[in-house]
Structure 1
């Protein structure tokens, strides 16, 4: 007899490895997480003994382990390098902050030790020099008044481009919004310039509006803006003239206004007090003047800077930006209804009304009769 091995058919011999491969593949398909074939820890449960929640938890744990082990080595190295760089940046930031604070402390100590006595002496000498003066005596630091029409004629085409960044840094748009809220009825804008308030107008509350400025090129720019923004608004007019003589311009027409307003215009007038007085004469009974102006600050170091740059500012912009606005308003004789200050004390918003005339009671004449007794003889 042949041995047992010899009696195996060649088909069965070749079929064994193939069957094993199919078995392994089927196992992987039906048990991708290795729960059937994996060796359970001592005291663990078989799949048949596990609940649905335990099987789900085991699958998630297996997936997390596979993802962690499958991640390429290059990616792990990149993540590690990124974490190290972030940690290094944090240390450098802390070191830089400490260095800045330490340097500032050293500089402050040096200034206090060396410069403070000198600064105190200069301050005492200045106070002694100006002893007995009022704040309104700052006439030598304010630029001399002049006719600024030619200056603004030259600036008309480039004024908006040059001024927009300064106004953005100063958040002037918030102040213009506050002015626009006060406008209603028949409105007159004095020193309108290139019409920088047009974007904030609410024409639903405005019956008519008149724009006045001494510079004709500026008025043309303002008119172009208004026609583009409000093409259907018809009750508008543009008048060339100075604020100091605005009453004479409207005297013949007899036009009066509910609101007369001006934004950053007093600084360019030759006589700002007279300009407010002229505005007052154009008001209807119960009307108001709204002023948004910039001037000297209540903070001394800000006012010193404005005084230092006053001549340069007046030469380039035609603007005397360090005027004493509260004093000008007091000199105008109008009643202050509302006053708000901001921008480090340089921006002033005033709502003014015509003061009520004191009531004069009629004088009642009382006749007294004096009885004379006849003389006795």
Structure 2
């Protein structure tokens, strides 16, 4: 990783995602999690305060040592034990098949180079009856906004460690092997007067639960 991605991006992401507007979405996304949870893209630990009582442990995957250090306070305040089990969700995580009751991913599939590899590993690791709980931003369904996202995308990738503004969130789950249990779309982000800038800064957020077939 570059110096910018390694040292600066974790702080940028934390500042952008640590806001009251996302707390309700985090609560909705984590609802129903239970038992041993694998979280891919753990970051600075922003999901920890919203975990339901049924969660007994969180096993974190994240490539950033800076982000892991930033999460120290959240981990210390959490009733749920947290350990770090991997750096790369697209590679093979050091765990046996069907090791986890549920998987949690928030604002991470927008960035990973190979979503299919990450989701393949998720399917390997999920126990029968488990689900992937996903909160993600992506391509706006409004054509004008989507075109604006396409224009912004190279800038977003350069500034935010490879994050895409315009990935279609649910596209990977249209293939066989996934059962969409629930989903909802909303718009979050700053509202400004200039219409074009408003398109650039808005994000489509989809809380979704997906079970492996």
Structures share a fold, TM > 0.5? yes
Pick closer, same or farther for the CA change 1:349–1:149 going to 2, 3 Å: farther
Partner of 2:155: 312
- Name the TM-score, length of structure 2 as normaliser: 0.82
Residue 349 of structure 1 and its aligned partner are, at CA, apart by: 2.0
Name the CA distance, whole Å, in 1 between partners of 2:123 and 2:102. 10
Cα distance change of structure 1 residues 163 and 352 upon mapping to structure 2, 3 Å threshold? closer
Matched positions, count: 198
> Which 4+ runs in 1 deviate beyond 3 A?
147-150, 161-164
* 1:151 and 2:9 correspond: no
CA distance, structure 2, for counterparts of residue 267 and residue 349 of structure 1 = 14
SS of the residue aligned with 2:104?
Answer: strand
Partner of residue 128 from structure 2, selected from 273, 280, 285: 285
1:208 is matched with which residue?
Answer: 57
- Residue 118 of structure 2: aligned partner: 275
2:207 is aligned to 349
- The CA deviation at 1:239 is 2.8
When normalised by structure 1's length, the TM-score is 0.48
1:189·1:211 contact (CA, 8 Å) conserved in 2?
Answer: yes
- Could you tell me which runs of 5 or more consecutive residues in structure 1 were left unpaired when the two chains were aligned: 1-146, 356-377
Is the contact between residue 98 and residue 128 of structure 2 (CA under 8 Å) also seen in structure 1? Answer: no
- Across the aligned residues of Structure 1 and Structure 2, the Cα RMSD in angstroms comes to 2.4
**Partner residue, 2:90:** 244
In structure 2, runs of 5+ residues without a counterpart are 188-201
Q: Is the 8 A contact 2:98 2:124 kept in 1?
A: no
Structure 2 residue 59 is matched with structure 1 residue 199: no
**Residue 218 of structure 1 pairs with residue 67 of structure 2:** yes
Note if 1:338 corresponds to 2:196.
no
Q: Does 1:184 align with 2:45?
A: no
User: Which has the greater radius of gyration?
Assistant: 1
Equivalent-residue separation in structure 1 for 2:3 and 2:27 (angstroms): 27
Q: Any idea what the Cα deviations from partners look like across 1:80-102, whole Å, max 9, x if unmatched? A: xxxxxxxxxxxxxxxxxxxxxxx
Tell me by how many angstroms 1:316 deviates.
0.7
The answer to whether the Cα contact below 8 Å between 2:149 and 2:165 also exists between their aligned partners in 1 is yes
Task: Measure how far apart 1:148 and its partner are.
Answer: 8.1
226 and 255 in structure 1: CA distance in 2 versus 1, 3 angstrom threshold: farther
C-alpha distance in 2 between matches for 1:209 and 1:334: 23
Q: For residue 193 of structure 2, what is the aligned residue in structure 1?
A: none
Matched with 1:266 is: 109
Tell me by how many angstroms 1:329 deviates. Answer: 2.1
SS of corresponding position for 1:257: coil
TM-aligned CA deviation for residue 322 of structure 1: 0.7
Which of the two has greater strand per residue?
Answer: 2
